[in-house]
């Protein structure tokens, strides 16, 4: 079988029902002729595979505190999001993921929830949420909510009742006796550590027991070995599905279960760069990724989503935050009830990561995917430094070109479409509890504040984020040049215009569902081909290194001599202007330059 025939066979298998083969073998001439016509169409690529909505769109993460402030208190809110929904229409983004807006005392800025079925007054109310969903759907936008199942706030009614040992709520949380010491003293049940440093056990004087908290002491872990609690959280999903939500991003899923035998201490990691109070001083076999237990709960959540899908035949999406460390873990997550786990490999990009480095990260995403699994890519989020800071601001356009042309669902963190950078935060300005547990000399290593600064909408005061004179975090100092309005109004090239061009290009079959093949790769350049049969082929070539690279792209898999530039990163010479006809035998790219080229004489 030739390479081309093999590719066509693979494409055919993904687009044509197996029953057609049976028909060809058993039916009469007329039926067989009809089937042959269908097969011919499929091989040519005119019959695209069935795809779910979450496979065909960019997912855009909104951190609501920082997106848009409508009431001038310096904090973003739901009405602010509503006011900016047309931004996504402009970008050609069709799904938004909203970080928590639930009722919360805000010890961890919304990830400490005191009511899973209400909205924090800081962000608005349930009517505002209903309006957001309605207005989003009018624009063809799907709405994905953050679901935070691992823990609640210690101010949640459930926890207060659990402290009192009220029968229904007594075991909603993970309670244990301490280890008795001399003179009536006691110590935690074991050496387990919190992600936010120090012991993961907190003494409650009223109940006379310790409770477990993987994160802040104000975030007690819920007990999923209690069927009543499991049902409560399923009902929380139903509450939001009844209100039109299209899916959920599941937060911190690997922490959902702990072993029941709390006499087991977790082993040391043997890292000499950490002190014994830091989370990674230990490994976590007893408090992370208890897969069998998690799968059962996850399957229950999928059943809830399917209840609503069965009513209207509209897919409800579920993506999980699961930092996989092995291929086996990745496969296991893809085979779970979730649609996909986030792939976080690209979070590791840094200044030294060139073409070969990027290739290895991307290949890992595609490696060993189970049948029918769908890849995804993400550069950053509310817990990680912006990729524009990690790799360098000069690479912003190159990075967006990569994200939006790979095969799989891309997730954009707010501000990436305009090239926002981390902000400089002083210790006195810092509000993130993860950073504040450390002293001033090292807090920035752990703080998540720099990547959470307000969205830069315009060059007006406070970047158009608020009419207040202050905001919950400082606005980036570069907002006068890096902002939505200025970039949209630019006469020539801009970062947001490139983003929009690439987002529209993703609608084309080669990018929507076409094959992906690696082309030239070296320490500087990473390139690949996207194509679907009987549609134009596209070459993407990007220089992620520090020096100039000249390469020949005429050999396999491109097998062509010439092409036409359809997009560039804006920093290229005139030879590679959009619509320029280029010689593929000699493409020269300087550092941070990238091209999308339509092949014009492929075989």
Asked whether residue 237 falls in the same domain as residue 208, the answer is no
What is the average pLDDT across 15-44?
Answer: 40
| pLDDT tens track for 376-419 | 999 999 999 999 999 999 999 999 999 999 999 999 999 999 99
What is the average pLDDT across 563-574?
Answer: 97
Q: Is residue 507 part of a domain?
A: no
What is the average pLDDT across 80-102?
Answer: 98
Asked whether residue 302 falls in the same domain as residue 426, the answer is yes
Q: Is residue 349 part of a domain?
A: yes
Asked whether residue 177 falls in the same domain as residue 200, the answer is yes
At 19 the pLDDT is: 41
Residue-range definition of the domain harbouring residue 103: 56-149+226-256+289-354+375-397+411-499
Q: Is residue 552 part of a domain?
A: yes
**E-only strand ranges, 150-297:** 175-176, 179-180, 186-187, 201-204, 209-212, 247-250
For residue 102, the cross-strand partners are 119
Domain boundary residue, one of 499, 533, 557 = 499
Of 128, 146, 202, 321, which residue is the catalytic one? Answer: 321
Domain boundary residue, one of 455, 475, 499 = 499
Per-residue pLDDT at 131 exceeds 90? yes
What is the average pLDDT across 205-228?
Answer: 98
| pLDDT tens track for 151-181 | 999 999 999 999 999 999 999 999 999 999 9
Q: What is the Cα–Cα distance from 130 to 98, expressed in whole angstroms?
A: 14
φ, ψ (nearest 5 deg) of residue 159: -70, -40
Model-level pTM?
Answer: 0.92
Per-residue pLDDT at 299 exceeds 80? yes
Q: Does 321 qualify as catalytic in the annotation?
A: yes
Task: For the chain, give the mean pLDDT.
Answer: 92
Q: Is residue 49 part of a domain?
A: no
- Assign 497 to helix, strand or coil: helix
Asked whether residue 458 falls in the same domain as residue 522, the answer is no
CATH code of the domain in which 271 resides: 3.90.400.10
Asked whether residue 491 falls in the same domain as residue 448, the answer is yes
Asked whether residue 238 falls in the same domain as residue 125, the answer is yes
Q: Is residue 506 part of a domain?
A: no
At 1 the pLDDT is: 38
Asked whether residue 70 falls in the same domain as residue 204, the answer is no
At 602 the pLDDT is: 52
Domain boundary residue, one of 271, 288, 305 = 288
For residue 104, the tally of other CB atoms under 10 A from its CB is 25
Q: Is residue 383 part of a domain?
A: yes
At 323 the pLDDT is: 81
| pLDDT tens track for 579-588 | 999 999 999 9
Q: Does 251 qualify as catalytic in the annotation?
A: yes
For residues 519 and 539, is the Cβ–Cβ distance under 8 A? yes
Helices (H), 194-273: 227-241
Q: What is the Cα–Cα distance from 508 to 547, expressed in whole angstroms?
A: 32
What is the average pLDDT across 549-557?
Answer: 97
Asked whether residue 459 falls in the same domain as residue 595, the answer is no
Per-residue pLDDT at 12 exceeds 70? no
Q: Is residue 509 part of a domain?
A: no
Q: What is the Cα–Cα distance from 368 to 331, expressed in whole angstroms?
A: 7
If one counts the domains in the chain, the total is 4
Asked whether residue 494 falls in the same domain as residue 603, the answer is no
**% pLDDT > 70, the chain:** 92
What is the average pLDDT across 182-196?
Answer: 96
CATH code of the domain in which 567 resides: 2.60.40.1180
φ, ψ (nearest 5 deg) of residue 24: -60, -35
Q: Is residue 324 part of a domain?
A: yes
Per-residue pLDDT at 55 exceeds 70? yes
Asked whether residue 110 falls in the same domain as residue 182, the answer is no
Q: What is the Cα–Cα distance from 529 to 515, expressed in whole angstroms?
A: 8
Asked whether residue 298 falls in the same domain as residue 381, the answer is yes
Asked whether residue 143 falls in the same domain as residue 94, the answer is yes
Of 135, 161, 232, 251, which residue is the catalytic one? Answer: 251
CATH code of the domain in which 129 resides: 3.20.20.80
């Amino acid at each position: 079988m030739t390479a081309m025939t093999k590719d066509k066979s693979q494409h055919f298998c993904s687009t044509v029902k197996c029953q057609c083969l049976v028909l060809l073998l058993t039916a009469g001439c007329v039926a067989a002729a009809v089937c042959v016509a269908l097969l011919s169409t499929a091989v040519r690529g005119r019959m695209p595979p069935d795809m779910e909505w979450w496979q065909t769109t960019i997912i855009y993460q909104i951190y609501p505190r920082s997106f848009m402030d409508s009431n001038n208190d310096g904090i973003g809110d739901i009405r602010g999001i509503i006011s900016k929904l047309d931004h996504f229409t402009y970008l050609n983004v069709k799904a938004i993921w909203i970080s928590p807006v639930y009722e919360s005392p805000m010890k961890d800025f919304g990830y400490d929830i005191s009511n899973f079925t209400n909205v924090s007054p800081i962000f608005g109310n349930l009517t505002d949420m209903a309006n957001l969903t309605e207005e989003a759907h009018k624009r063809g936008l799907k709405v994905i909510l953050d679901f935070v199942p691992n823990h609640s706030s210690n101010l949640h009614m459930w926890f207060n009742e659990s402290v009192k040992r009220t029968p229904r709520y007594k075991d909603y949380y993970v309670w244990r006796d301490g280890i008795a010491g001399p003179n009536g003293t006691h110590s935690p049940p074991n050496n387990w550590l919190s992600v936010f440093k120090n012991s993961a056990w907190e003494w409650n004087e009223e109940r006379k027991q310790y409770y477990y908290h993987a994160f802040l002491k104000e975030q007690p872990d819920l007990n999923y070995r209690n069927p009543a609690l499991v049902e409560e959280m399923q009902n929380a999903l139903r509450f939001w599905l009844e209100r039109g939500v299209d899916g959920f991003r599941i937060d911190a899923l690997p922490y959902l279960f702990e072993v029941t035998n709390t006499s087991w201490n977790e082993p040391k990691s043997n890292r000499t760069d950490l002190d014994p109070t830091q989370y990674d001083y230990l490994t976590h076999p007893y408090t992370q990724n208890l897969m069998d237990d998690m799968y059962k709960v996850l399957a229950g959540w999928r059943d809830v989503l399917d209840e609503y899908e069965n009513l209207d035949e509209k897919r409800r999406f579920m993506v999980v935050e699961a930092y996989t460390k092995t291929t086996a873990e990745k496969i296991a997550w893809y085979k779970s009830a979730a649609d996909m786990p986030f792939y976080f490999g690209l979070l590791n990009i840094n200044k030294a990561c060139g073409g070969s480095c990027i290739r290895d990260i991307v290949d890992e995403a595609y490696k060993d995917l189970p049948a029918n699994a769908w890849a995804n890519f993400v550069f950053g989020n509310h817990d990680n430094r912006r990729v524009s800071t990690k790799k360098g601001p000069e690479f912003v356009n190159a990075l967006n070109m990569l994200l939006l042309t790979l095969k799989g669902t891309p997730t954009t963190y707010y501000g990436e479409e305009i090239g926002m950078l981390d902000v400089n935060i002083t210790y006195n300005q810092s509000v993130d509890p993860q950073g504040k547990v450390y002293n001033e000399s090292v807090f920035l290593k752990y703080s998540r504040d720099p990547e959470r600064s307000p969205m830069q909408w315009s060059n007006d005061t406070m970047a158009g984020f608020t009419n207040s004179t202050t905001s919950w975090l400082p606005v980036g100092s570069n907002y006068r040049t890096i902002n939505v309005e200025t970039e949209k109004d630019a006469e020539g090239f801009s970062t947001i215009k490139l983003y929009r061009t690439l987002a529209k290009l993703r609608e084309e079959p080669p990018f929507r569902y076409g094959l992906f093949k690696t082309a030239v790769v070296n320490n500087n350049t990473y390139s690949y081909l996207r194509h679907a049969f009987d549609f134009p082929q596209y070459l993407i070539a990007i220089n992620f290194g520090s020096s100039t690279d000249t390469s020949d792209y005429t050999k396999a898999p491109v097998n062509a001599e010439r092409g036409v530039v359809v997009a560039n990163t804006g920093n290229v010479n005139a030879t590679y202007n959009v619509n320029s006809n280029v010689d593929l035998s000699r493409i020269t790219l300087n550092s941070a330059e990238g091209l999308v080229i339509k092949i014009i004489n492929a075989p």
